[in-house]
Amino acid sequence: MSTATPTPTRTPHGDLPPADGHGTANRVGSGLFDPQQLLKSLPDALRKLDPRVMVRSPVMFVVLVGSVVTTVLALTDPTDWFGWAITAWLWLTTVFANLAEAVAEGRGKAQADTLRKAKTGTIARRVIGPDEERVAGTDLRIGDLVVCEAGDTIPGDGDVVEGVASVDESAITGESAPVIRESGGDRSAVTGGTKVLSDRVVIRITTKPGETFIDRMINLVEGASRQKTPNEIALNILLASLTVVFLLAVVTLKPFAIYAGADDQTSLIVLAALLVCLIPTTIGALLSAIGIAGMDRLVQRNVLAMSGRAVEAAGDVSTLLLDKTGTITLGNRQAAEFLAVEGVTESVLADAAQLSSLADETPEGRSIVVLAKETYGLRERTQGELTGAAWVEFTAQTRMSGVDLDGRKVRKGATGSVVAWVRERGGSVSEDAQELTDRIAQAGGTPLLVAVEDADGARVLGVVHLKDVVKEGMRERFAELRRMGIRTVMITGDNPLTAKAIAEEAGVDDFLAEATPEDKMALIKREQAGGKLVAMTGDGTNDAPALAQADVGVAMNTGTSAAKEAGNMVDLDSNPTKLIEIVEIGKQLLITRGALTTFSIANDVAKYFAIIPAMFAVAYPSLDRLNIMGLTSPESAILSAVIFNALVIVALVPLALRGVRYRPASADRMLRRNLGVYGLGGIVAPFIGIKIIDLLLSLLPGIG
């Protein structure tokens, strides 16, 4: 049986809001250099100069130490303009690095402020036996039952255990259209801070005060709970190692300079400046901002990542498990045609199909009534105007609907159920009926049999073809994923024939038919055993084990609390196709980090060859041949490099926050592109930038 739940209707036409449309996160300013945001972030950047904070980034901690050392040395000689200039730019380098992180965090705090408005002190109606008592929402505990009626604010996270209600979740999703929450099934979870618009429900509280969904959202978007990911830790170790290597290289310059008689060119201020220019300060300054911005981009699309690890894992995913219903297909199957058996006209079949569907309130049943009206001109009848009719409503148990009218019984439903109904009444099923059902199933459709029992006995009149429509553009998107090296697997409760037809039409790589929770778990474990990272979506309690097992588990906000607890991401829009965007954002995060790391290291190499020849050209005139930029003087070379080193951080902040543009490609092709654009750019940019700054400095008195 399929575990997919149709995506909730959010607009009059049943369309989902755009991925970056109406969410809370998108109503805050997201400008990269919003002056107000910069001013708000500056105090945070200055507070981050605390050594206890800076030590978390080894590279920037070295810059801070260098800034302190040059400040002390400059104070010993207040007339040394060069020492003061170096000191000022080293401090600016440190502040710029902190500002990049503060701006990224500041955008999250703006989103958190919006979410805090949804947190209001509420009074809950707690159920105590047959009575109710009014208590503060903060006094509720796990397992408490509370009653909410129209106009009430839901006091805490929980599951509806009784009733059905329309709920306004705009405080979370930003979407003004209400959603339905009901007991049982996969749409029972409610969130504290949302508002009941109609009816009455009883809710079982599932979280402690201060640990609600909104509390977790606030902490995560503020960055308070953001831990370094394994990749970040590994990269920090690499950067620290490079820093040690360059530190040793710079320290050895002092004895060489003394031996060469160029001791005046290698003062401690010069060595400190040289060290800061050579260590990978660019990526060290932007590393945290890149990670925070990656989570921020998810929030802008109304996806809440429970950890940075989940975002990174999304970028490394190699297998995607996607529900068919609502993800690959539109979700609601529609009646496409009536196929009558031999000896029965299509108009007779259409009339019987419409009659038997009047008591079927499912989307499929409604579509049959509409098709009969539009194709065969049959007026849509109502149950009220057919006097004496005994209606048989559609249920999941019988899988049939129908009507008993004027001595005739008409039934419509799943093939197995209708065949059993006919045979129980002594009737038989013709061979062409079986051929029609097989043909529809092989074409990817769903066959429904229509049967009648009258004076001539029980018999099948024909088949209704229900078609599951594949969403437009899905084949192209799956082709993009294939180019990225990602294998797509469609999960469905349909029979293998139907599943195969839909899989071929959609262009997925594989499918899992008649899937059970155990089947999903087994598939995920098989993929992981082969060294692959797996992502999947889910919304029901029966999806929770697979969501927990998957490397990236995206739970729908409309789903149960168990599903949201098991996943490491929650899609507030409950749009299953968002998983494809999540993978792209994860890859963009990894590509951005890799691109800026490449640029930073190439940058350092270029600065080394730009500065060293200028520094030692006095002692070793032959080195002047390597001074290809023709820098004015050693002082100008060093100061130009320090200024460039600070300004390049500012220049790259927008790229770190926005992310490098992602294009589906193989790993080899992306590597070549990174080396060509950011590696070569990292080598060329310092030569151009340092030369321009040197020319400007040469215009100042005392430097030429």
For residue range 205-243, what is the model confidence (pLDDT) as tens digits? 888 776 676 676 666 555 544 556 777 788 888 888 888
> Of 438, 448, 431, which is closest to residue 501 (Cα–Cα)?
438
- Mean pLDDT, the chain, as a whole number? 79
Give yes or no: residues 96 and 227 share one domain.
Answer: yes
- Quote the CA–CA distance of 246 and 644 in Å, as a whole number: 19
Q: pLDDT value at position 16?
A: 29
Residues belonging to the binding site for Mg(2+) are 539, 543
Q: pLDDT value at position 114?
A: 58
Give yes or no: residues 462 and 508 share one domain.
Answer: no
The number of residues in the chain equals: 704
Quote helix, strand, coil % in the chain, to nearest 5. 55, 15, 30
Domain containing 197 equals: 139-207
Residue 153 lies in a domain: yes
Return the ∠ at Cα 347 (arms to 343 and 352), rounded to 5°.
90
Give yes or no: residues 387 and 451 share one domain.
Answer: yes
Residue 85 lies in a domain: yes
Answer whether 284's CB lies under 8 Å from 97's CB: yes
- Domain-ending residue, one of 467, 489, 515: 467
Locate 108 and state its tokens: 């999250």
Number of compact structural domains in the chain: 4
Residue 3 lies in a domain: no
Q: pLDDT value at position 411?
A: 92
Lowest mean pLDDT among 510-514, 570-574, 663-667: 663-667
431 pLDDT above the threshold of 80: yes
CATH number at residue 165: 2.70.150.10
Q: pLDDT value at position 64?
A: 93
Give yes or no: residues 416 and 558 share one domain.
Answer: no
Determine whether 414 is exposed, middle or buried from the number of CB atoms within 10 Å of its CB (0-12, 13-18, 19+).
middle
Rounded to the nearest angstrom, the gap between the alpha carbon of residue 297 and the centroid of all alpha carbons in its chain is: 8
Give yes or no: residues 461 and 478 share one domain.
Answer: no
CATH number at residue 346: 3.40.1110.10
- Quote the CA–CA distance of 227 and 232 in Å, as a whole number: 10
Taking only the tens place, the pLDDT of each residue in 476-487 is 888 888 887 888
Confidence label for 23 from pLDDT (cuts 50, 70 and 90): very low
Answer whether 583's CB lies under 8 Å from 314's CB: yes
Residue 275 lies in a domain: yes
Higher pLDDT, 703 or 697: 697
Give yes or no: residues 671 and 631 share one domain.
Answer: yes
Residue 380 lies in a domain: yes
Give yes or no: residues 154 and 281 share one domain.
Answer: no
Residue 51 lies in a domain: yes
- Domain-ending residue, one of 207, 229, 261: 207
The amino acid that residue 10 corresponds to is R
Taking only the tens place, the pLDDT of each residue in 127-166 is 888 888 888 877 888 888 999 988 888 888 888 888 888 8
Give yes or no: residues 343 and 452 share one domain.
Answer: yes
Confidence label for 8 from pLDDT (cuts 50, 70 and 90): very low
Query: Look-up: residue for tokens 């070793």?
Result: 620
Catalytic machinery residues: 323
CATH number at residue 538: 3.40.50.1000
The predicted model gives 367-385 an average pLDDT of 75
- Domain-ending residue, one of 207, 241, 263: 207
CA dist 631 → 86, 395, 455, 608 (Å)? 17, 84, 106, 14
Give yes or no: residues 332 and 253 share one domain.
Answer: no
- Quote the CA–CA distance of 679 and 219 in Å, as a whole number: 36
Give yes or no: residues 559 and 608 share one domain.
Answer: no
What is the pTM for the complete model shown? Answer: 0.66
Give yes or no: residues 282 and 396 share one domain.
Answer: no
300 pLDDT above the threshold of 80: no
> Of 116, 60, 310, 112, which is closest to residue 223 (Cα–Cα)?
112
Residue 164 lies in a domain: yes
CA dist 679 → 6, 78, 599, 612, 685 (Å)? 47, 40, 5, 21, 10
Residue 212 lies in a domain: no
Give yes or no: residues 519 and 548 share one domain.
Answer: yes
Pairing of the two strands 487-491 and 510-512: parallel
The predicted model gives 83-92 an average pLDDT of 92
Residues belonging to the binding site are 360, 364, 394-401, 412, 539, 543
Residues belonging to the binding site for ATP are 360, 364, 394-401, 412
